[in-house]
Amino acid sequence: MREVALVGAGMTRFAKHLDRSMKDLARESIDNALRSANINASALEAAAVGNAMAGLITGQECIRGQVVLREMGIGGIPVINTENACASAATAFHIAWLYVASGMYDVVLAVGMEKLFHQDKSKSFEALGSAIDVELMQQTLEQMKTATNDGGEDAGAGKSRSMFMDFYADFARAHMREYGTTKEHFAKIAAKNHTNGSLNPHAQFQTPRTMEDILASPMIADPLTRMMCSPIGDGAAAVILTSAERAKQYTAKPVYVRASVLGSGKDRKPGEPEVTERVARKAYEMAGLGPQDIHVAEVHDASAPAELIIYEELGFCKHGEGGRLIDEGATLLGGRLPVNPSGGLLAKGHPVGATGVAQIAEIFWQLRGEAGKRQVQGAKVGLTENGGGMLRGEAAAVAVHILTV
């Protein structure tokens, strides 16, 4: 396999873009990536395009990537459409990496795009709720019922909020029972990410928040308050991959892909590692690195408790010690391992089909020293972790990438 480099990245601001089409959002991100790479669109030899929800939100199925790329004059090349829940864009990146690493193509585009906002918000939440086993949906909803503040049963899952917040609330309560983790730990993560987002011009939310702000926001599914939950959003992100040999033709600061691993959940024996831990181990092995070597990370904080649990699954600390990592300030900007300097899904936003490539774009900028006020000083090794869907209690798909300069 050949060594692969990133030479350009671009993205839109993640936001509520009711007046913009997915074509328009994708065009902005791709144009920015091409400009960043000093590459003309005619140099692209293939493209992988990630999207999760267009079929359910807009009705566009089957040829989403071709529809978007032809609008901006890109045609005649292989276009792969990837749909893999919230890991759709990370999956597109993995395919693009394989194209270059295999030697089949030298210059490949990876794009993630999504429009989740709809005039009928329940349609957005129902679309998100399709990323589970739909034949078992009603049974799952019954199992996930949680008590509201007044003690009544909350029927909002999948209707007035994403049912995934109920999954995350359940995981959070289990972690609290087993390890003594507190709501304050989750609030500290959310405050960190919202404060980081205030430094990111691409972020959906750009207001710094305190732990007290997070705890005072409305309860969604105990112990999750609204600010501990990622929002829905619209947006797109794109990166340009080339062979390492070609990279210096386009930039003096290539970023190298040391590992690209995609995996899925499975039926596990008691005590067997779950999917994120298994995929991360493969990525570390591929890169010849370990968790102690990571300088900066972007992880799938669809909720604040998810980020804490991912610390443990990625080996940043032992199982049960995520709260200690937070209390030490290790994952803050300026800490020994900043996590989600972009603001993460909590503040940067979560247009699900765009998130994986947006994470990679952030690490690309961090490793090149181009992240502005949120720059992690001296970052040379970065990691992204992107999960998608839920099946039998764990993520249906997980991608981990390790990048270096």
> Token pair for residue 72?
């901006």
Listed residue (370, 376, 192, 373) closest to 295, CA to CA:
376
Order across the sheet with 381-391: list the strands. Answer: 79-82, 46-50, 107-115, 234-243, 4-11, 255-264, 394-404, 381-391, 296-298
Q: Integer distance in angstroms from the first to the last C-alpha of the chain?
A: 19
Angle between the N-to-C axes of helices 275-287 and 304-313, in degrees from 0 to 180, rounded to the nearest 10? 50
Which residue bears the tokens 């936003």? 349
- What residues are annotated to the active site? 86, 350
Q: How many CB atoms lie within 10 A of CB 59?
A: 7
Helix, strand or coil, per DSSP, at residue 182: coil
| HSE-up of residue 14 (Cα within 13 Å, Cβ side) | 32
State which H helix or E strand residue 91 sits in.
helix 88-101
Strands 79-82 and 381-391: unpaired
C-alpha 239: how far from its chain's center?
14
Which residue bears the tokens 């008590």? 147
Listed residue (393, 306, 293) closest to 350, CA to CA:
306
Radius of gyration, CA atoms only, the chain? 20
Output the CA–CA distances (angstroms, integers) from residue 181 to 111, 166, 297, 313, 337, in the order listed: 37, 18, 22, 16, 20
CA distance 11 to 201: 11
